[in-house]
Copies of this chain bind each other. A is one copy, B any other.
């Protein structure tokens, strides 16, 4: 340090001494909380995975006890945090404008409400045979309801905070809450997989298949009068399994918001009101006026057709044996058409960006970095399933119509994930609408405006680097002028908005199908015969939750792309 006489101190000149005095080594504090989270998470992971296997002497009551304890502790920490920030207003000197956008918080509330309904159903289900159950099974959904309410309120009010008191404690608390959410997520995913396997086993009573998790449901309700026989109990049981996807999404949404909060602990921003262009809110009036309508209409058509296909598929597969083949052909055909269109549309979006001259946004933005990492990471799940399908179809012997459809489906799935990710990530890194890269060729763009409308330019105070269309004040002389000035950019923007809406609607239907129980992976016998049931079930049950989360996350990212473009 002394000898090298380094030219540049790292922090921004004004903030450096403050950072130095407040926290000598940020990574150290982060390391501590990560170590805590890793250890708690691994313990939870061990118990949850152990509880899923019938052979292992870990019972689901152990898992429920662990989760209940974790939720109580996390709730206590959240209450402590809320009290402290209320009583000490200068604890949060900065707020990150990128963190916790309204659609993320809205989604959180929506999924939170569904989780509450699920908890009611669960409580009802377990209350039906209270006398022969452990009390923890009823305590668990009640605690979860309390936890969901507290956490949703906490994330609604605090998700933008950059807190500057009790740094290490806050980091550990946030990481612990994050770990709690991930543990709930894991437990829900495992429980759902066990349920799926159970219903698969009861429909395919084929003794040659090795069962990954045999009959936990029936095993737990064994013992005379303790079975779920009443109609209300059956409804509760069916209901809470259909609501699991929302619980899963709620946990993941909360996790991403908590992670961003954790990254923002002790962060110094230049100014809390510093505008970045990204924080602008579009006027409600022009929200849907600026599309070509082709994207939303085509997307809505696909959504409706997809719902019909999904219902037909479910009816035919759960019915008698002979119609499964036909159901699979319909399902795969629809998916191939949908994925093919999405691939083409994503590609054309990327082509449009090749002609777009907006500057890339190089600002540091933890929310965006996390979004990109989640998009790429969650796509791995579907990639893995597709590659395993690919190998099974190519190497396996029977080459029929269904094999061909499966092959096309797997290939298109890979292509669609790749091109959609490229499109979304490039969109998220673009600057605000109409911002040309004025630092490289400011003169040229200025002259371009001059040629387009010379006299309009004179009404401006100075040569504007950015013809801003979506401003805080949409009605005014500047807006009309901007439309005249940049018709080409406007056409591109409309296309991009259409593309993002179309992709959004397609992702919704591709989310609905697997999230609500379509499993062509098992109806189709190619992979099951090739890999054996236990291996293929392990692959699908581990990877598919990531695939489902990818769709959900792509929807929220595409919504952001739509608003920003």
Interface residues of A (CB under 8 A from B): 1-13, 15, 17, 20-21, 24-25, 27-28, 31, 34-35, 38-39, 42-43, 45-47, 50, 53, 55-58, 62, 210, 267-270, 274-277, 359-364, 372, 376, 380, 383-384, 387-388, 390-391, 395-396, 414, 418, 421-422, 425-426, 429, 431-432, 435, 437-440, 464-466, 468, 530-532, 535
Contacts and interface: CB of A to CB of B under 8 A. Distances in A.
Contacts of A276: 4
7 contacts: A4-B11, A4-B15, A5-B364, A8-B9, A20-B439, A45-B384, A58-B391
A356 to B, nearest CB: 11
A414 to B, nearest CB: 7
A391 B47 contact: yes
Among all A-B residue pairs, the 7 with the closest Cβ atoms: A8-B9, A2-B466, A46-B387, A2-B465, A1-B435, A25-B360, A5-B11
A269 B3 contact: yes
Nearest to A422: B31
Contacts of A395: 57-58, 62
A323 to B, nearest CB: 29
A1 B267 contact: no
A11 to B, nearest CB: 5
A55 to B, nearest CB: 5
A531 B1 contact: no
B25 A530 contact: no
Given A3-B269, A4-B268, A532-B53, A25 B364 contact: no
Nearest to A466: B2
Contacts of A50: 388, 391, 531
A425 B35 CA distance: 12
B532 A376 contact: no
Contacts of A437: 1, 24
Copies of chain A in the complex:
2
Contacts of A42: 380, 383-384, 387
Contact of A4 (B34, B364, B383, B391): B364
A58 B527 CA distance: 13
Contacts of A39: 383, 414, 418
Given A2-B466, A35-B418, 12 more contacts: A1-B277, A1-B362, A1-B438, A2-B270, A2-B465, A4-B364, A7-B9, A8-B10, A25-B426, A31-B422, A46-B384, A50-B391
Contacts of A55: 531-532, 535
Contact of A3 (B20, B468, B535): B468
Contacts of A267: 4
Contacts of A391: 46-47, 50, 58
B530 A275 contact: no
A238 B439 CA distance: 65
Nearest to A28: B426
A468 B530 CA distance: 66
Nearest to A162: B4
Contacts of A364: 1, 3-5
Nearest to A11: B5
Contacts of A11: 4-6
Contact of A270 (B4, B47, B56, B363): B4
A103 to B, nearest CB: 22
Contacts of A34: 376
Contact of A57 (B13, B274, B530): B530
Contacts of A530: 56-57
Contacts of A422: 31, 35
A46 B465 contact: no
A46 B12 contact: no
Given A47-B391, A391-B58, A8 B2 contact: no
Contacts of A2: 270, 274, 363, 435, 438, 464-466, 468
A3 B466 contact: yes
A552 B62 CA distance: 36
